[in-house]
Amino acid sequence: MNKTFFSCICLLASTLYAVGQVHFTLHPDVYGANISESQYGIFFEEINHAADGGLWSEMVSNRSFEDSQNKIENWSSRNATKISLSSKRLMNAAQQQYLHVASPSGGANIVNDGYWGMRLDGQSAYTLTFFARADAAFSTTLTARLIDYNTSEVLLSASKDVKFGKTWMKYTLTIPDGAHITGKARLQLQTTSKKAFDLDVVSLMPAETYKGHGCRKDLAQMLEDLKPRFMRFPGGCYVEGEYANGERNRFEWKKTIGKIEERPGHWNINWHYRSSDAFGFHEMLQLSEDLGAVPLFVVNVGLGHKWYQDIDDLDEFIQEALDAIEYANGATTTTWGAKRAANGHPESFGLKYIEIGDENYNYHAHNNNDQSYQYAERYWKFYQAIKAAYPDIVCIGNVQSWGTDNPSWRNDYPVDLLDEHYYRSPSWFVQNYEKYDTYDRSGPKIYPGEYAVTQNFGTTGNLAAALGEAVYMQGMERNSDIVTMASYAPIFVNENDQKWKPDMIRFDATHSYGTPSYYVQKLMSQKLGTRNITWTEEGNAMQSEEGKSAQRRVYASASREGNKLYVKLVNPNSENFATMLTTQGYTASGIVLTQMTAESDAAENTAENMYRVVPVEKALSACGTNIQLDIPAYSFNVLEMNLTPGESSNDK
C-alpha cells in the first residue's frame, strides 16, 4: 500500500476515535502474565446421562438388568415371550440379577429401547455380545435386529446358530452395516426355539468409536474441539455419593475397571439413575489421553451426602487414592500398573493432578453428617500420603463452594491449587472481570474447577450466559499467573433426562449441538496465545444498564504467540460500540474476526434450531496500526492477526 495513503487511513481512523469511540491501545511488546500451559480444561461428570446414554457408545440400556430390583427397565417382550428377573444362578459376584426368558409358544422375542433410542450413525457395523445359559442345553438360531424406533421397520439384522449350555457363556454377533442407515432404533433379539434361557450383560457397540476406545464420535469430537489441556473427572457429587438403603452410592474406581461383566455398576443417586460404570476409571484416563488432556482425578475423602467415614479410619480411602495413582502411572511391575497393562495400556497415563475431595470444605456449623466434616484434617492426611509416595502429583484442595464470593484456604496446610466453584448470574460473571486482579500472589494458585451461569440462562443456555462466562474467562486469562486452570461445568446433557441445567453440550440419540457457552469455551481455548499483553482503554466506561450492571462497554483480553496477536472483545450490553484497536508499534495484517452474536442476548440454540447462535468467521480487509470495528450489542469477538514490528517496537 502507498505509504501516504496508509497514513491517511490511520489518521482518519484516529480522527474517528475522537468522536467517542471505545479505543484500545494495545502494547504487543509490554507483556502481562504468561498464559498457563494448563489453561483451559474440561470437567467430566456422570450427570444427565453424560456417559451412560451419552459419551459412552453402549447402545443397550439396563444391559445387566440391575437398574431396578422389581422392574425390568427398558426391556420388553413380544409374541407371548415371558421375561422375569432372577438371581438364582448368577454369573459372578458382580452381577446380582439376570433376565429369564421363556417362550412357550415358539421363539423368544425381546426388545431393548436403548437410551431413548439407539443411535445409528450410518458408518458402523455393530457388535453384539451377551452371556446366556439354559437349564437344559439347546441349539437355536439367534437373530439380532435393529428396528426403527417409531415404526419397528427392520433396518439391519444378523443371525447366528448358537448353543446355550448349562453354564454362562459369552456370545458375539456382528450386525453389519449395509446401508449407511442413520436414525434411532431399538434392538430386537429373537430365537427359534421355545426353550427357556437366561440372559445377562447384553452389549451392543458400534464398531467405529472415537479413536477406537468406545466413545461416541460426535460428542468426543466436540470435546476435542475444546482443545482441553486437562480433564477433571469423575465428579462432582458423583464422587461423593449419597447414603440410602445401607449404601453410600459413591464412585469406587476399582469396581469400574476390567471386563464389563465384572463391573457391578452403582446407583448414581446424586443424579438419579444407575451407572453401569462402563465408562470407568480406565476409560476416563483413556479419553484424557485421546483428547491430549492431562488427567485430574477427584478422590473421595471419606465424605459424602448424608454419610461420613470416621477420620481415624481413613486408611482404606487413602489407599484407594494411592492405588488410583499407581493404576494410572505405575510401572507394569506394580500391582495396579500390571492391571492397567492387562487392560490394554502398559504406558503410564500421566495422571498429574489429584483433587482431594469435591466441595467438602463448606463453612457452616459442622455436625457429624456434614459433608464438610473435618475436611482440612482429612485433606492433610491425604496430602501427606500422596506427596510421600508421589512427590510430583499436584494436590488440589477444596474451598467453600457455596454461599461466598470470596472462598479461602482456611488452614495452614500446604496446598498446590484451590478449586473454586461459581454458579451465578450473567451479571455476576461480568462484574467479576477483575476478581483475580487483587488475589494474593504469594498464596496458592487458583483453579475454578466448576463455573457456569445458572441463573437467567433461558431454557437451554442463552447468549447472555455465554457472554458473562466469556468476560469472566478474560479476567482469568489476564491473571493466568494465579489462575492456572479452569473448567466449565457440567459438560453434557441427554435432552431426555435433564437433571442439571444448563450444560454446554446437548444431545440425544440422533443429534448433538453446543450452547453459546460451548462456543465461548471453544474459542477461548483455541485462540489462546502464550503471553498476555497489556493495553490501555479510553471511552469504555459504561453507565450500568438496568439488570445488567456492566461497568464497561466492551471487555477485552489480548495475548500473543510469536507474531500472532489475539484480541478478544466481549460486549454484553444492548448497544453497538464503534471501537478502535491501535497496535502500538506494530502493523497488523491478515486480520480474521470470529464473531458470535444475535439480535437478543436471550437467543439460544435448541434441538429445532441448533445453530442459531454460533461463531462466524470472516477475514477483514483492514490492516495497519489502527483497526476500526463495530462491536455489536451482545457479541463475543475474537480477532486474530499477524504483527510486523514498526519503528517504535521493542521487537525489532
Q: Which residues bind ligand AHR (CB under 6 A)?
A: 45, 47, 235-237, 358-359, 450, 489-490, 500
Residue 37 or 405 with smaller CB distance to ligand AHR: 405
- The nearer residue to ligand AHR, 121 or 450, going by C-beta atoms, is 450
* Nearer CB in complex with ligand AHR: 133/424: 424
Pick 52 or 358: Cβ nearer ligand AHR = 358
Please, what is the minimum distance in Å from the beta carbon of residue 489 to ligand AHR? 4
* Active-site position among 45, 326, 359, 420: 359
d(CA 415, CA 451): 21
Q: How many Å is the Cα radius of gyration of the chain?
A: 28
Q: How far is the CB of 498 from ligand AHR (least distance, A)?
A: 12
Q: Show Cβ contacts of residue 487 under 8 Å, excluding neighbours closer than 6 positions.
A: 40, 41, 42, 43, 230, 232, 447, 448, 449, 450, 451
Residue placing its CB nearer to ligand AHR in the complex, 149 or 488 = 488
- Catalytic annotation present for 45: no
Query: How near is the Cβ of 88 to ligand AHR at its closest, in Å?
Result: 38
Quick check: helix, strand or coil at residue 361?
coil
List, as one string, the DSSP characters of 450-486: EEEE-SS-TTTTBHHHHHHHHHHHHHHHHTTTTB---
Helix 335-342 × helix 315-329 angle, to 10°: 50
> Quick one: 514 or 539, whose CB is closer to ligand AHR?
514
The Cα 91–Cα 83 span in angstroms is 18
The alpha carbon of residue 132 and the mean position of all alpha carbons in its chain are separated, in whole angstroms, by 36
The nearest distance, CB 317 to ligand AHR, in angstroms, is 18
Closest-by-Cβ residue to ligand AHR is: 236
Grid cell 482440612 is found at 376
State the minimum distance, in angstroms, from the CB of residue 43 to ligand AHR: 7
Cα 6 to Cα 550: distance, rounded to the nearest angstrom: 36
Q: Which residue has the cell 439460544?
A: 604
Residue (of 339, 333, 242, 237) closest to 285 by Cα position: 339
* Location of C-alpha cell 487413602: 318
501 grid coordinates: 441445567
Output the smallest distance, CB 492 to ligand AHR, in A. Answer: 11
191 burial type by CB count under 10 A (0-12 exposed, 13-18 middle, 19+ buried)? buried
Q: Sort strands 197-206 and 126-133 into parallel, antiparallel or unpaired.
A: antiparallel
Q: How far is the CB of 634 from ligand AHR (least distance, A)?
A: 26
Choose between 205 and 504: whose C-beta lies nearer to ligand AHR.
504
Q: Residues with catalytic annotation?
A: 359
